[in-house]
Structure 1
Amino acid sequence: MTEDVLVVHGGTPLQGQIRVRGAKNLVSKAMVAALLGESPSRLFDVPRIRDVEVVSGLLELHGVKVSAGAEDGELVMDPTNVESASTDEINVHAGSSRIPILLCGPLLHRLGHAFIPDLGGCHIGPRPIDFHIGALREFGAVVDKTPEGMHLSAPNGLHGAKLELPYPSVGATEQVLLTAVRAEGVTELRNAAIEPEIIDLICILQKMGAIIKVHTDRVIEIHGVPRLYGYEHKPIPDRIEAASWAAAALATRGEIEVLGARQQDMMTFLNVYRSIGGELKITDDRVARAGVSGSEGGIKFWHPGGELKAVALETDVHPGFMTDWQQPLVVALTQARGISIMHETVYEQRLGYTEALNSMGATIQVYRDCLGGTPCRFGRRNFMHSAVIAGPSKLHAADLRIPDLRAGFAHLIAALAAEGTSRVYGVNLIKRGYEDFEAKLAALGAHVERL
């Protein structure tokens, strides 16, 4: 569609100030958590992104009243009249998001039944729901598979269970948390994900009345309670979007201040950023409120001039280098002198975007081998999941088609860094996770226009 094409006139350093709101990977789960309460919840600093629209639609299908609050970015969710939704209505959202599976636990508690359609999301590798289903069965759910999806019921209610994840999956950890908080008895989850978004979700559930203990060694203990109430919460800022703009500053030799970005959530990224040769300055929010800086806290990222340095990186679960950080940063690494290595250990099909970068003049070779020592989910399974980047490379304009959310932003950065005019197709996919990205580009001095 013509309105889905962005014309990018590259070669201009991005300079200026933008702001990030609540984390995409937390906000949607916080909205699901509102289903568990018996009174309205208020979520602040909610970004205007497609995923929020999808989850709002799913909640409204189940009788939750979703409305804008008094403040900009405030969302009010009233779950007092939760009701069943038809499978046809739910299937309308089937290809838009993977959120429906996380509604199962809350709906089983509220209604006694739930439905899982065929799940969508970005095509970055299979994300099996086997553990989700297995965990729900351990809690006492009965799962009936049908051609249109899976129907779940809980004839005897849900009860606590002892579970251990084969891999510290964020989605599976969220599933257990959202189900265990109102299950009768105690749930113990081992090898849990401990990402900042997970901890923030736990904070929300605790505000609602849950009893959740985070132990050492990735063990989470949940004591089920009979009822939960609404919450008021400001989510952590989006560390993925902040890192994406940081990479854009580096790739275009610019300077971008990302208001709202928080140091403690991004320490691993910030260390890598400095190792490459990027510069940054952190403005503590407490100092900003005191009036010293005159603005909201955040992080300023810039290219200091000179050459960038090659690095060897591996993605990993928190506190490792986040898989969603690698695509935008690889664009910057095409401008670093020497040989950089990126070993993707989380999603097996996440390096496909490098073909487009090569068409723009980058020199990137992908390999099946594990080029690093971090334990890999799919080593020796014939997936191209390691990349070797030789640089620096002079990027030139090209026509690009966006394959998924994070790769899409990487393609956009490449077009901004390249000499000449590029056409980027499928840019509406970026709206899934980046609020008002075109307005932010304009604020940073980028020369872009809709075709």
Structure 2
Amino acid sequence: MLNVHGGVPLNGTVQVRGAKNLVPKAMVASLLGDSPSTLRGVPAISDVEIVTGLLGLHGVRVTQGPDQGEPDGELVLDPADVEQGSIVDIDAHAGSSRIPILFCGPLLHRLGEAFIPDLGGCRIGDRPIDFHLEVLRKFGAIVDKTPGGIRLSAPQRLRGTKVKLPYPSVGATEQVLLTAVRAEGVTELRNAAIEPEIIDLVMVLQKMGASITVDPARVLRIEGVERLQGFVHRSLPDRNEAASWASAALATGGDITVAGARQQDMITFLNVFRQIGGEFDVLEDGIRFRHPGGELQSIVLETDVHPGFMTDWQQPLVVALTRASGMSIIHETVYENRFGFTDALRTMGAKIQVYRECLGGTPCRFGRRNFLHSAIVSGPSPLIAADFTVPDLRGGFSHIVAALAAEGTSHVSGIDVINRGYERFLDKLDGLGARTELVAST
């Protein structure tokens, strides 16, 4: 349990390294190569530990490179002895991650078979794997569902195919890329995700010898090749972590420099940050975010796929909006259950009302499906300390920030989930002047 003493602005500098939404996927891509890969900028987060373990179970040797200090975080991944891992071991190791589904394409190419256990992950909405399986079938994989998971096989070489996504899903786009690069023939993917992390994965695969064209209108064309080599790559920085610390600066009335943050990946966020009343300076190697004093302004906001406002930016920003003057309207169009974290904020005194209706004009999949996916935040509303359990990664960060902005001492449990995406989270809080204490749960 974490005791959080509120009322202290966060001031100082934090370092962000490689993106959580790229690094584990690039690690999986190393399976496709015939030689070792070197990945730099790797953050010390639990998702990296999980994928390291899963790769080890499949015979990939993962070692730390010579440059482990910030910002390098180097890993060397050697896939020379790839083998099928034990079903029991895979199941035990992967319970808290949804990454194993992305192992399928590379393992089918290397071994002709793959196994996926039941998948976990943050409970923020419906993330069915049926579409992943449908895509793999299109490539020629045979899919057999078993009580403990799903077994896939490829008696012959996988073949290129045409895929049109009903929604530009990041996970589905990654699945197609990791499978198509060594499939026979050409694969065409329409309505693909084009997030910066996806483009970075394309760059990784291109370094390995893949032929990938990014056409206008969300179309990717991949010409399969017989063999790929290892890569040397530095991950793009984690824009989600950078935005989270920016929102923490606003919510607590602080001043935080995020070393490693990159303007080009955060243009949409920076516009909204300034619209609310925050100030920022783009530095040579980072961005400084600060609350300038005075009132923050309410906004109307809709999340969307890139280049829209990211859903992962929404939750920490809502905490800052409880401090803004007026009524803010937020329409979540990516994950249908992402407002569950507001229950704890209301307990702390926030004035937040959630709705099933679409409070915005962006096309939305949830308006007729009875999901609470819009919210109105009225402020400013002073927050008071409370006891709560964090629900998911971004929601958990948001709860900690709310506790830091609140009057009094909050008692927070379940903080381990935050380590999935925030490197040395408690150390960084301490470096920013936060008053927290980690105590044993009773």
Deviations along 1:307-354, one digit per CA (max 9) or x if unpaired, are 000001011000000000000000000000000011111111110110
Deviations along 1:383-421, one digit per CA (max 9) or x if unpaired, are 000000000000011112101011000000000000111
1:275 maps to a residue whose letter is Q
Deviations along 1:361-396, one digit per CA (max 9) or x if unpaired, are 100000000000111122110000000000000001
Q: Which of 327, 335, 345 is 1:339 aligned to? A: 327
Q: What is residue 327 of structure 1 aligned with on the other side?
A: 315
Alignment of 1:84 with 2:84, yes or no, is yes
Deviations along 1:41-84, one digit per CA (max 9) or x if unpaired, are 00011000000000001000000001101001111100010011
Whole-angstrom CA distance in 1 between matches of 2:414 and 2:251: 22
Q: What is residue 150 of structure 1 aligned with on the other side?
A: 150
Q: By how many angstroms is 1:303 displaced?
A: 0.2
Moved more, 423-432 or 194-203: 423-432
Whole-angstrom CA distance in 1 between matches of 2:94 and 2:38: 26
1:42-441 matches, within 5 Å, as: 42-72=38-68, 73-284=73-284, 297-441=285-429
Alignment of 1:41 with 2:29, yes or no, is no
2:21 maps to a residue whose letter is N
Moved more, 406-415 or 371-380: 371-380
Whole-angstrom CA distance in 2 between matches of 1:256 and 1:369: 36
1:364 maps to a residue whose letter is I
* 8 Å Cα contact 2:54/2:94 also seen in 1: no
Whole-angstrom CA distance in 2 between matches of 1:129 and 1:329: 29
Tell me the SS of whatever aligns to 1:376. Answer: coil
Whole-angstrom CA distance in 2 between matches of 1:143 and 1:397: 50
Whole-angstrom CA distance in 2 between matches of 1:442 and 1:129: 39
* 8 Å Cα contact 2:50/2:94 also seen in 1: no
Whole-angstrom CA distance in 2 between matches of 1:443 and 1:156: 55
Whole-angstrom CA distance in 1 between matches of 2:23 and 2:367: 33
Whole-angstrom CA distance in 1 between matches of 2:55 and 2:94: 14
Deviations along 1:418-448, one digit per CA (max 9) or x if unpaired, are 0111111111110000000111111101111
Tell me the SS of whatever aligns to 1:92. Answer: helix
Alignment of 1:21 with 2:17, yes or no, is yes
1:371 maps to a residue whose letter is L
Tell me the SS of whatever aligns to 1:301. Answer: strand
Whole-angstrom CA distance in 2 between matches of 1:273 and 1:147: 47
Tell me the SS of whatever aligns to 2:93. Answer: coil
Tell me the SS of whatever aligns to 1:389. Answer: strand
Whole-angstrom CA distance in 1 between matches of 2:50 and 2:420: 9
1:249 maps to a residue whose letter is A
Whole-angstrom CA distance in 2 between matches of 1:378 and 1:167: 13
2:9 maps to a residue whose letter is P
Identity %: 70
Whole-angstrom CA distance in 1 between matches of 2:366 and 2:229: 41
Whole-angstrom CA distance in 1 between matches of 2:136 and 2:356: 35
Aligned length: 435
TM normalised by structure 1 equals 0.96
2:412 maps to a residue whose letter is V
Deviations along 1:90-149, one digit per CA (max 9) or x if unpaired, are 111232100000000000000000011100100001101111111100000000111111
Unaligned residue ranges in structure 2 (runs of 5+): none
Aligned-residue CA RMSD in angstroms? 0.6
Whole-angstrom CA distance in 1 between matches of 2:361 and 2:413: 37
Whole-angstrom CA distance in 1 between matches of 2:419 and 2:402: 18
Moved more, 393-402 or 90-99: 90-99
1:247 maps to a residue whose letter is S
Tell me the SS of whatever aligns to 1:396. Answer: coil
Whole-angstrom CA distance in 2 between matches of 1:318 and 1:35: 28
Whole-angstrom CA distance in 1 between matches of 2:214 and 2:89: 37
Whole-angstrom CA distance in 2 between matches of 1:442 and 1:8: 11
* 8 Å Cα contact 2:214/2:221 also seen in 1: yes
1:81 maps to a residue whose letter is D
Tell me the SS of whatever aligns to 1:361. Answer: coil
Whole-angstrom CA distance in 1 between matches of 2:256 and 2:221: 41
Q: By how many angstroms is 1:221 displaced?
A: 0.2
Whole-angstrom CA distance in 2 between matches of 1:379 and 1:357: 24
Whole-angstrom CA distance in 2 between matches of 1:64 and 1:17: 36
Whole-angstrom CA distance in 1 between matches of 2:180 and 2:25: 15
Unaligned residue ranges in structure 1 (runs of 5+): 285-296
Deviations along 1:236-262, one digit per CA (max 9) or x if unpaired, are 000000000000000000000000000
Deviations along 1:172-209, one digit per CA (max 9) or x if unpaired, are 00000000000000000000000000000000000000
1:42 maps to a residue whose letter is T
1:149 maps to a residue whose letter is G
